[in-house]
Structure 1
């Protein structure tokens, strides 16, 4: 077995691992990165970018569908070329993935090891390619993988996840999507708009990451106007058939149904890639779901004895906020602290910000309504809201669907969070996140300029609604 020495070892070269490497390398110490899978980030290869490419095609098709409402008639109609759609998705996906992979390949060769790593003890790692690494500190940045419930295995070779979909050479004719989370909603709606027969199955009534019941209920109504979303489906059986996949279920009217689809797309969440790391050898503190317990401001892990371990964690494997910009922040934080260990430098985290690229879009900013109700009590909160149904600019653009709710401290008036379903949510969410992070109050925000006619005027209406309730 070949022996290697390192000051900092980073397991994984996704977004978090790349950020950790760059931060650790600045210290001038010996850094080794270990990767057993493909170079390139989850975002570029199988996540954010290919999904947005598919959504972009779907949005263009949807605009053609809406053209007649503006008095524009496409007399010859239009045709979705499923092969060409997927050709562009794969081509641009490969370009994004190659750019990320090339970044890693441009690092010094002596800094890179191929193989899957496992702990021997807190300062020793081994790879399945025959290397033993003695290291002062380690950063775990191994990412996550799709979670597939056992019941779905009955679909056989017609069971796919989002990672499989992006390799398709053409669009399928029909897909049953399980899981109305971010991935399921985005892909399900996009496939529907590209002419694929889709039904979306959920459990427990959840829709995306929405936490505010009023926003979530409206989301269910709006999405069901376009395609079938069973947010609390009773699925009886799943079976591979000659035609594809047969699904027996009870619909929301209590009717027993049997339907066939070409594929079953599992969008039922992701799990941290921890199983092959042999964490038992390190005796780390583990949370209730089996993941290591980390300090989000340092990335530090702890031993069961309570002592700080020379091990740090970052990115989706931590499952703190599994988003690219958070993974990048966590990588920098973990890499810096792994380099300075045992001296740690806590870094305050940014205001939580999440966007879902459905239509209408979803956005969550700051603390959620349930979190604030638990922390402050409902009596100490004010909730301002605006419906986009009659919002001027939204009606002009025929995107007048949705609801924005903003949450503020009743005594101080400080904005604490917001939840939105509606047009331009990706942009309004940034304005709201910056405002929450700056701890601005509702009156202060209402002193800022709002142009006319713009969708941002809807935000002003929600702020005015909140201001009317302040002490």
Structure 2
């Protein structure tokens, strides 16, 4: 048995684990990193990168069918799905060196490609290695949740991990799950030429502000995606090319392929957490506000920490853990500043409180500023005028932003900064945006907030008249 002593042991080489390992090693800590599968984790290999690459291809195909609005003839695209998947693989391959074992070994990290299991509160066994660490970070991520639908285990189905193995475009893709992954893949495959049906037990995009979600849902339906809401799957059967999903309402949907996208489950099995005194919940490892588990030497970051499933959240967690584990500085997570985006077209984005959440917490102190895309000159030039920016404001400070429209995922950055830094609407109004950009909407929204205070205020008008009377 190879016995290793280290300052920091990181279990899992996804976004959060890699960020912790790289940061700690470059700051002088002795770091060991365990990874049993692929470097880069879900985001690089199965999630963010491949899905956005597929969406980009689908967007190009869709643009070809509506070019006449710009004076360019519409054409029906010829889609080579195998080539699309090659594009997806190429995007992954270009990023792989950034997350590679060789790069992290160059930082001074010792990388061991094996599973890890706790054998005591401070020791982890990985193959022939027994590692004793002063601090341990669990960053094992999550995996697609496979629901216990009768017949599903005996029926061919896809998840976000296996979708990328396809080389033939699905003739009719059935999607169980109307969350972000399900809706993104539904629209992408529809734009590439598949028939698509989404089956959702509740409301599609149900986590989002309903008014904001409607922009995406209306767009998907207009493009031909069938969305069956309040429709729970009760039985699945079939074979490759012939899948049936029966619902509790008695309707049966038939398609060629089935994608299951009903959420994710934390990767905690086999870690021996109970041996280390680490408590868990259904969401993952139980952590405090500083991301420490019930074993104070062990932290959890990213999906497995049960606070959300976003790559940028894992990176945020990593920064906090580095500050605490290496320098002993107090840290506390702030869920209110974590943005999210759904990359349908139009895009959706959210940071902070939705309108209903803000009203529940702040009551009549909430002012909702609404700004549409229809008068933004860049949106007009690009024929992307469907959209809405809603800013929830309390005592002059934004507490949330809900966005639907072109570049929503970019626009939310300003509001994420505003919430993180505690900015006031006046500071957003004082910003200068380049013209013409979609981002001008942020400044205009701030202006909309101040307009009634300036233009409908008799006191302001009286002061202006008095000043004008006395100015030379």
Which residue of structure 2 lines up, in the alignment, with residue 273 of structure 1? 267
Structure 2 CA distance for partners of 1:281 and 1:469, relative to 1, 3 Å: farther
Scaled by the length of structure 2, the TM-score of the pair is 0.87
In the TM superposition, what are the counterparts of 1:266-415 in structure 2 within 5 Å? 266-287=260-281, 289=282, 291-296=284-289, 298-303=290-295, 309-340=296-327, 343-346=328-331, 349=334, 351-377=337-363, 379-389=364-374, 391-409=376-394, 412-415=395-398
In the TM superposition, what are the counterparts of 1:53-68 in structure 2 within 5 Å? 53-68=53-68
Deviates more, 1:111-120 or 1:453-462: 453-462
Unaligned regions of 5+ residues in structure 2, if any? Answer: 458-472
Which residue of structure 2 lines up, in the alignment, with residue 225 of structure 1? 222
In the TM superposition, what are the counterparts of 1:17-56 in structure 2 within 5 Å? 17-56=17-56
Q: 1:187 aligns with which of 185, 190, 210?
A: 185
Residue 380 of structure 1, CA deviation:
0.9
Residue 285 of structure 1, CA deviation:
4.0
Deviates more, 1:21-30 or 1:326-335: 21-30
Does the 8 Å contact 1:382/1:407 carry over to 2?
yes
SS in 1 for 2:13: coil
Residue 457 of structure 1, CA deviation:
4.4
Residue 264 of structure 1, CA deviation:
1.0
SS in 1 for 2:285: coil
SS in 1 for 2:297: strand
Query: How far apart, CA to CA, are the structure 2 residues paired with 1:363 and 1:177?
Result: 22
Structure 2 CA distance for partners of 1:173 and 1:37, relative to 1, 3 Å: same
Residue 236 of structure 1, CA deviation:
3.8
Residue 242 of structure 1, CA deviation:
6.5
CA deviations over 1:312-342 (Å, ceiling 9, x no partner): 11122113232222212222322443334xx
Residue 239 of structure 1, CA deviation:
0.9
CA deviations over 1:58-100 (Å, ceiling 9, x no partner): 11011111112334224x6431121211121123223323441
Which residue of structure 1 lines up, in the alignment, with residue 166 of structure 2? 168
CA deviations over 1:37-70 (Å, ceiling 9, x no partner): 1222322111111111101111101111111233
CA deviations over 1:169-211 (Å, ceiling 9, x no partner): 232222111212221111111111000111112122141641x
Structure 2 CA distance for partners of 1:3 and 1:437, relative to 1, 3 Å: closer
Query: How far apart, CA to CA, are the structure 1 residues paired with 2:222 and 2:241?
Result: 28
Structure 2 CA distance for partners of 1:115 and 1:57, relative to 1, 3 Å: same
Q: 1:158 aligns with which of 156, 159, 174?
A: 156
Corresponding position: 1:96 with 2:79: no
SS in 2 for 1:240: strand
Structure 2 CA distance for partners of 1:206 and 1:466, relative to 1, 3 Å: farther
CA deviations over 1:224-256 (Å, ceiling 9, x no partner): 222112232243431114742112347xxx8x5
Query: How far apart, CA to CA, are the structure 2 residues paired with 1:152 and 1:191?
Result: 26
Query: How far apart, CA to CA, are the structure 2 residues paired with 1:173 and 1:206?
Result: 23
Query: How far apart, CA to CA, are the structure 1 residues paired with 2:280 and 2:236?
Result: 35
Q: CA RMSD in A?
A: 2.7
Which residue of structure 2 lines up, in the alignment, with residue 306 of structure 1? none
Structure 1 moving runs of 4+ over 6 Å: none
Structure 2 CA distance for partners of 1:272 and 1:70, relative to 1, 3 Å: same
Structure 2 CA distance for partners of 1:77 and 1:262, relative to 1, 3 Å: closer
